[in-house]
């Protein structure tokens, strides 16, 4: 742990700058909590969700836990203010929220002195050594939910075994996505690693009247709509190039472009305009202006299911560059045909299963992407591929019930 504490000390200026940016940009960010100054809180379960993605992943879990424990007290922590905003949007008044303290011994100890709770559940694999040590010292049961570990990440942990071995031994249990994840966790020192599946499969297609309204304004003539979801730097240009080529054969085609990180919204908007596209912004342009746009910039948080629902075809980004790709489950649950790029190591098992079942396809270039989109302009092709994606998702459901049983202490 001395090595981790040294690295934490060296990173202090960067951490301080991040806190300052959050403070300046977001009214809902509470710096005192991030430094460990918590108001006293008693809870039956403490659930940690780093940011928006984890809050959304945990949404069904939170709903089911609250339903099973009508008198129960649930504390949810996030690192980011956007995560807190999404939590309030979904569960205002039903759960307690605090910002996770910085993983410095002083901050963690100060926060935990204000907490009375028997167990901590962490969504995904966000492991903070000082937090885990102090929670264990306080007698908490610690479980990691939706635990996944790519081979690349496992190799990185393996290079720092002096830190990773004791770290992996701290949680009482890792509830793993798949057998491959479980084996990687065990090899790194984890003790109890049952395979329970992925709770994200247990999301259901929402009955959302807003989707029909959005569709009517974006594509009133039933134009072909595709989405590039959760894009990163280095990908937007490729999707815009593909869209320009697509429009040469399908002039009415529209692209929904959704950057992964909010700080990139403005720069991606400028890039769309520089590429010559009429571009509407979800945050600024009235519905009536959407139909005039070639590109809709999805510059909002927590609405990805709506964007997917509006689209005829879903490209799950982060995969045209060596970012590792993002989770394809949401479009699969919505019966959307899915396209991914070459780099999907973050969700290798899920993606390969979808590709194998022909609910998703993989492309290696902009040219291949255009070819695939042109094929999926055909409604029958879309329907068949989308149904295969849905059947794959349905076959993998059931993890939520298994996770809830493990949370009963």
Give the C-alpha separation, 29 to 49, whole Å: 15
- Secondary structure of residue 315 in the 3-state scheme: strand
User: Beta strand pairing status for 173-176 and 225-231?
Assistant: unpaired
Give the C-alpha separation, 148 to 193, whole Å: 11
Spatial CB neighbours of 385, under 8 Å, sequence gap ≥ 6: 337, 338, 358, 359, 360, 361, 376
Which of 54, 84, 124, 330 is flagged as catalytic?
A: 54
For the question of residue 96 being annotated catalytic, the response is no
A 10 A CB-CB count for 40 gives 8
Alpha helix stretches (DSSP H) within 250-378: 265-274, 287-290, 304-310, 329-333, 348-356, 366-376
Per DSSP, 228 falls in state E
Give the C-alpha separation, 129 to 134, whole Å: 9
Asked whether 217 and 287 are in contact (CB, 8 A), the reply is: yes
Spatial CB neighbours of 400, under 8 Å, sequence gap ≥ 6: 60, 61, 64, 199, 202
Asked whether 254 and 224 are in contact (CB, 8 A), the reply is: yes
Asked whether 209 and 401 are in contact (CB, 8 A), the reply is: no
Asked whether 278 and 313 are in contact (CB, 8 A), the reply is: no
Per DSSP, 144 falls in state E
Among residues 221, 216, 227, 285, the alpha carbon closest in space to that of 254 is found at: 227
Q: What is the dihedral of CA 280, 284, 288, 293, to 10 degrees?
A: 0
Give the C-alpha separation, 125 to 139, whole Å: 21
Q: How many residues does the chain have?
A: 409
Report the catalytic residues. 54
């Amino acid at each position: 742990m001395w090595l981790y504490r040294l690295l934490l000390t060296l990173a202090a200026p960067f951490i301080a700058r991040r806190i300052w940016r959050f403070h300046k940009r977001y009214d809902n960010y509470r710096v005192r909590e991030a430094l460990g100054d918590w108001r006293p809180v008693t809870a039956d379960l403490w659930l940690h969700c780093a940011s928006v993605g984890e809050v959304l992943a945990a949404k069904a879990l939170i709903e089911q836990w609250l339903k099973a424990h009508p008198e129960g007290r649930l504390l949810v922590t996030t690192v980011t203010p956007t995560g807190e905003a999404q939590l309030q949007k979904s569960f205002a008044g039903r759960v307690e929220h605090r910002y996770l303290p910085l993983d410095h011994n002083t901050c963690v100890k100060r926060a935990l002195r204000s907490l009375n709770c028997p167990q901590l559940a962490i969504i995904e694999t966000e492991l903070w050594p000082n937090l885990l040590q102090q929670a264990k010292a306080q007698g908490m049961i610690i479980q990691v939910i939706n635990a996944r570990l790519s081979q690349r990440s496992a190799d990185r942990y393996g290079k720092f075994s002096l830190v990773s071995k004791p770290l992996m031994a701290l949680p009482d249990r890792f509830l793993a996505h798949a057998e491959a994840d479980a084996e990687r966790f065990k090899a790194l020192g984890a003790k109890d690693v049952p395979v329970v599946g992925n709770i994200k499969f247990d999301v259901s297609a929402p009955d959302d009247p807003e989707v029909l309204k959005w569709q009517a304004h974006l594509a009133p003539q039933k134009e072909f709509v595709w989405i590039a979801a959760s894009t990163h730097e280095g990908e937007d240009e490729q999707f815009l190039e593909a869209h320009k080529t697509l429009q040469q054969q399908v002039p009415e085609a529209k692209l929904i472009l959704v950057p992964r990180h909010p700080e990139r919204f403005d720069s991606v908007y400028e890039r769309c305009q520089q590429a010559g596209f009429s571009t509407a912004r979800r945050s600024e342009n009235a519905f009536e202006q959407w139909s005039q746009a070639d590109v809709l910039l999805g510059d909002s948080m927590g609405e990805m299911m709506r964007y997917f629902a509006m689209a005829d075809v879903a490209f799950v980004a982060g995969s045209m560059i060596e970012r590792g790709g993002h989770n394809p489950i949401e479009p699969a649950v919505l019966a959307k045909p899915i396209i991914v790029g070459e780099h999907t190591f973050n969700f290798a098992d899920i993606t390969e299963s979808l590709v194998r079942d022909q609910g998703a396809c993989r492309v290696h270039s902009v040219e291949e992407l255009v070819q695939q989109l042109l094929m999926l302009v055909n409604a029958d092709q879309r329907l068949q591929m989308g149904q295969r994606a849905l059947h794959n998702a349905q076959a993998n459901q059931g993890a939520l019930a298994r996770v809830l049983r493990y949370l009963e202490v």
